[in-house]
């Protein structure tokens, strides 16, 4: 019998949102059902071969086998800076304003350790990527939800944040293109967010994990395209979705040297950096971010999205139309809760969706489809759901 109790921060975690789904999925599988998972945002397409080749060559070089630099290889950080300049027109000093991350989740999870004292507040989108709230709670911080509602284009209503809470806030998390809703954002909203954070001295943590996953000419923005952002923002980037590299664990943070340095101090004390060979593969990826081989991947997701949206329309399911991400945010078409609907779909059809409430209370009434299977399987999944709903 284990005799040592878990710490409160773990015991007080809310119930794992995917637990009920995992159970239903295991049961459906045991019954021999053909499971089609549209649940997890993990690209099914492979990493482009030129990136894998760069990693292979680098891994054969014994110089990559030693401890990496805490802040990342300078040549990797230079590649990230080149990308930021070319893609967004934002110049960064690679040596002091760019920090390699072991995936952007790592940076997001660690930034509250640098900035949140017990009792400090973080403004967190709801529904949202769950790490923002959990990482804040781990530091004894208080999460103030910013609901994302359809009538507000799935952006927070900044005017609805009570001044008292804004004054106590140290961090605000924002993420566009957005997981889970797929929403994109206007430059005007980003200007308002920057002005808000400047007024209340809040560090804006801009999660740009889906910056490249856009189609039909839509190009997501960086927060650093907004005037005045430098004083109050840090941006998290990821190679995971941009280059089908979720398993490789590589990203970066950029911003003023003080913010990047704050995060760097946490990291120096808890990890020893990303494998050099993976950073070298990252350089290859970033230097060819506009390559047709890479861009062809986004078009595949775009094509799937259009096909999915067309079927949903035929089925009478309301959804958010979007030019970015591989997520489709849909209204639950019955009077069930999100969790009950998703469980019933899984039990009866073998199709896995994610209930909106897995991303926070404000996700009630919605479910998320991840377009991470090929079009034929996706069409088959929606046909099964359509038969269930008739
Ligand atoms: N931010 C958002 C909104 C995400 O959806 C994810 C992954 O799904 C991440 C960050 C983390 O990505 P990674 O750690 O693979 O860079």
Task: For residue 56, count other CB atoms closer than 10 A to its CB.
Answer: 11
Q: Residue 43: CB within 6 Å of ligand 1?
A: no
- Quote the pLDDT of residue 26: 85
Among 32, 36, 21, 28, smallest CA distance to 380 is for 36
In the numeric block, which tokens belong to residue 147?
């609901």
Among 187, 245, 178, 262, smallest CA distance to 214 is for 178
Round to whole Å and give the CA distance between 52 and 344.
40
- C-alpha 261 – ligand 1 centre gap (Å): 21
- C-alpha 223 – ligand 1 centre gap (Å): 17
Contact indicator for 265, 62 with CB cutoff of 8 Å: no
Q: Residue 41: CB within 6 Å of ligand 1?
A: yes
Do the strands 36-37 and 351-352 form a parallel or antiparallel pair, or are they unpaired? parallel
- Quote the pLDDT of residue 31: 87
The number of the ligand 1 atom at minimal distance from the alpha carbon of 246 is 15
The number of the ligand 1 atom at minimal distance from the alpha carbon of 241 is 15
The number of the ligand 1 atom at minimal distance from the alpha carbon of 250 is 16
Round to whole Å and give the CA distance between 65 and 67.
7
Q: How far is CA 18 from CA 191, 263, 343, 356, in A?
A: 35, 30, 11, 11
Q: Residue 244: CB within 6 Å of ligand 1?
A: no
| 3-class SS of residue 75 | helix
Do the strands 251-255 and 233-238 form a parallel or antiparallel pair, or are they unpaired? antiparallel
Helix (H) or strand (E) holding 287: helix 276-287
Task: For residue 142, count other CB atoms closer than 10 A to its CB.
Answer: 15
- Quote the pLDDT of residue 316: 96
Q: Residue 211: CB within 6 Å of ligand 1?
A: no
Q: Which of 43, 47, 185, 209 to mutate to test the pocket of ligand 1 (most atoms within 8 A of CB)?
A: 209
| Sequential pLDDT tens for the chain (390 residues) | 889 999 999 998 877 766 777 777 888 888 888 999 999 888 899 999 999 999 999 999 999 999 999 999 999 999 999 999 999 999 999 999 999 999 999 999 999 999 999 999 999 999 999 999 999 999 999 999 999 999 999 999 999 999 999 999 999 999 999 999 999 999 999 999 999 999 999 999 999 999 999 998 999 999 999 999 999 999 999 999 999 999 999 999 999 999 999 999 999 999 999 999 999 999 999 999 999 999 999 999 999 999 999 999 999 999 999 999 999 999 999 999 999 999 999 999 999 999 999 999 999 999 999 999 999 999 999 999 999 998
- Strand-pair partners of 171: 122, 203
Round to whole Å and give the CA distance between 106 and 110.
6
């Amino acid at each position: 019998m284990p005799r040592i109790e878990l710490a409160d921060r773990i015991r007080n975690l809310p119930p794992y949102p995917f637990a009920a789904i995992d159970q239903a999925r295991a049961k459906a599988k045991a019954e021999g059902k053909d499971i089609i998972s549209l649940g997890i945002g993990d690209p099914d397409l492979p990493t482009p071969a030129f990136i894998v080749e760069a990693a292979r060559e680098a891994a054969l070089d014994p110089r990559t086998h030693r401890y990496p630099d805490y802040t990342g290889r300078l040549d990797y950080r230079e590649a990230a800076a080149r990308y930021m300049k070319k893609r967004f027109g934002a110049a960064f000093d690679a040596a002091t304003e760019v920090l390699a991350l072991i995936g952007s989740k790592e940076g997001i999870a660690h930034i509250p350790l640098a900035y949140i004292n017990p009792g400090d507040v973080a403004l967190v989108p709801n529904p949202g990527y769950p790490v923002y709230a959990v990482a804040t709670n781990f530091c004894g911080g208080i999460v103030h939800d910013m609901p994302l509602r359809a009538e507000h284009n799935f952006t927070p209503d900044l005017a609805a944040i009570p001044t008292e809470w804004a004054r106590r806030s140290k961090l605000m998390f924002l993420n566009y293109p957005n997981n889970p809703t797929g929403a994109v954002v206007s430059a005007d909203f980003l200007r308002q967010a920057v002005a808000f954070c400047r007024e209340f001295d809040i560090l804006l943590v801009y999660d740009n994990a889906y910056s490249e996953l856009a189609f039909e000419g839509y190009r997501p923005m960086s927060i650093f395209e907004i005037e005045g952002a430098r004083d109050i923002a840090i941006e998290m980037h990821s190679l995971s979705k941009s280059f089908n590299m979720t398993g490789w664990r590589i990203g970066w943070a950029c911003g003023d040297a003080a913010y990047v340095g704050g995060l760097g101090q946490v990291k120096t004390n808890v990890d020893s950096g990303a494998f050099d060979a993976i950073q070298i593969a990252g350089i290859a990826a970033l230097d060819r971010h506009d390559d047709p081989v890479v861009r062809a991947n986004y078009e595949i997701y775009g094509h799937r999205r259009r096909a999915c949206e067309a079927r949903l329309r035929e089925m009478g399911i309301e959804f958010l139309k979007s030019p970015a991400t591989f997520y489709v945010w849909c209204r639950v078409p019955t009077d069930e809760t999100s969790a009950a609907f998703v469980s019933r779909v899984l039990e009866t059809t073998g199709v896995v969706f994610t209930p909106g409430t897995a991303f926070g209370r404000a996700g009630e009434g919605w479910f998320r489809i991840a377009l991470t299977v090929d079009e034929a399987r996706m069409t088959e999944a929606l046909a099964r759901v359509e038969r269930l709903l008739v």
